[in-house]
Structure 1
Amino acid sequence: MSHLSRTLPIKRAAHVYLVHEGQLLLVEERMDDGSIFYGLPGGKANAGETLGDAAVRQVLVETGLRVTDLMFVSLIEGELLTGTRNECYANFGRFTASFSGDLAPTDPEVVGVKWVPFEQVEGLVRYGPPPEVEERNPLIWVPTRDFVRGQPRAYYPI
């Protein structure tokens, strides 16, 4: 049960499922421990920025692609990383979109961008240490698992 009487920082983020011929676009980022992390393009919303605007901005810097016609898929909401220094209340929106342009990331944290067949997406997911890395939390990947299986839900409480 959540303790909503506590004050937690709120983290708002948006990620986009970009699909082409049965493949999902993932970004490759290097983690602090040197390993490669695969994630959806997107990221944190700035103050005063809608989730949709954050999705457009973040996808452009992480992939080089311009996205339009955002369609809402799901919302992930709840307390995340409880007991760590990054503890927060999360509102993470997931969208699909049309896209144009060429793959040309400008985000220095992105070391690659890769089209991955749906059936291979789950095999790239890494869980585990360090625990403060939210992307390695299995709950963050459940909506993506459901999406590639063709069974997305609209709401995922953490």
Structure 2
Amino acid sequence: MSHLSRTLPIKRAAHVYLVREGQLLLVEERMDDGSIFYGLPGGKAQAGETLAAAAVRQVLVETGLTVTDLMFVSLLEGELLTGTRNECYATFARFTAEFHGELDPTDPEVVGVKWVPFEMVEALVRYGPPPEVEERNPLIWLPTQDFLRGKIRSYYSI
């Protein structure tokens, strides 16, 4: 019996926990279905780009802030969205950083940027349909839940 082999696309992304006085900076993005998604600033790495460089670039376009002194917090990796059209092998890094500048997003998908008290962050996260959307997968939010509770782990396997 031969084993079926498959090649999964690799998705590399990096997001940054920007913290000010017990608040976490979240971006509001409009999803394809018209709903609003609250997420961490950051996003996909481009070909040949390090995860740290992707974090700096994406935070700038999504928030207008310049981040410096990136510090690694956690890595989340594994197969994501298996059996859907967005199936991939995910490598997602989370950092914290110093930041400066004014909130001024230039990413057309970002409809807002807001500081949210730690205790209110999880209430803004929407899980569930459509299932092929990674941002609504509860596993993606485990590192953030732990970060907000001060229980930081460096590695998460999906």
TM above 0.5, yes or no, is: yes
Alignment-derived partner of residue 136 in structure 1: 136
1:34, CA displacement in angstroms?
1.5
1:6, CA displacement in angstroms?
3.1
How do 1:74-153 residues align onto structure 2 when only pairs under 5 Å count? 74-153=74-153
Name whichever of 16-25 and 124-133 sits farther off.
124-133
SS at match of 1:89: strand
Alignment-derived partner of residue 70 in structure 2: 70
Structure 1: where are the runs of 5+ without partners? none
Instruction: Write the distance in 1 (CA, Å) between the matches of 2:152 and 2:92.
Output: 15
1:84, CA displacement in angstroms?
0.7
Instruction: Write the distance in 2 (CA, Å) between the matches of 1:90 and 1:40.
Output: 16
Structure 2: where are the runs of 5+ without partners? none
Q: Provide the aligned length of Structure 1 versus Structure 2.
A: 155
1:107, CA displacement in angstroms?
0.1
- TM-score, structure 2 normalization: 0.96
- Higher Cα radius of gyration: 2
Instruction: Write the distance in 2 (CA, Å) between the matches of 1:132 and 1:149.
Output: 28
SS at match of 1:102: coil
Deviations 1:57-91 (A, max 9, x none): 00000000000000000000000010111100000
1:152, CA displacement in angstroms?
1.3
1:151, CA displacement in angstroms?
0.5
Q: Which runs of 4+ in 1 moved over 4 A?
A: none
Equivalent position amino acid for 2:154 in 1: A
SS at match of 1:57: helix
Alignment-derived partner of residue 12 in structure 1: 12
Equivalent position amino acid for 1:100 in 2: H
Equivalent position amino acid for 1:149 in 2: R
How do 1:52-67 residues align onto structure 2 when only pairs under 5 Å count? 52-67=52-67
SS at match of 1:74: strand
Instruction: Write the distance in 1 (CA, Å) between the matches of 2:133 and 2:106.
Output: 22
Instruction: Write the distance in 2 (CA, Å) between the matches of 1:31 and 1:88.
Output: 19
SS at match of 1:38: strand
Instruction: Write the distance in 1 (CA, Å) between the matches of 2:101 and 2:83.
Output: 41
- TM-score, structure 1 normalization: 0.96
Instruction: Write the distance in 1 (CA, Å) between the matches of 2:131 and 2:32.
Output: 12
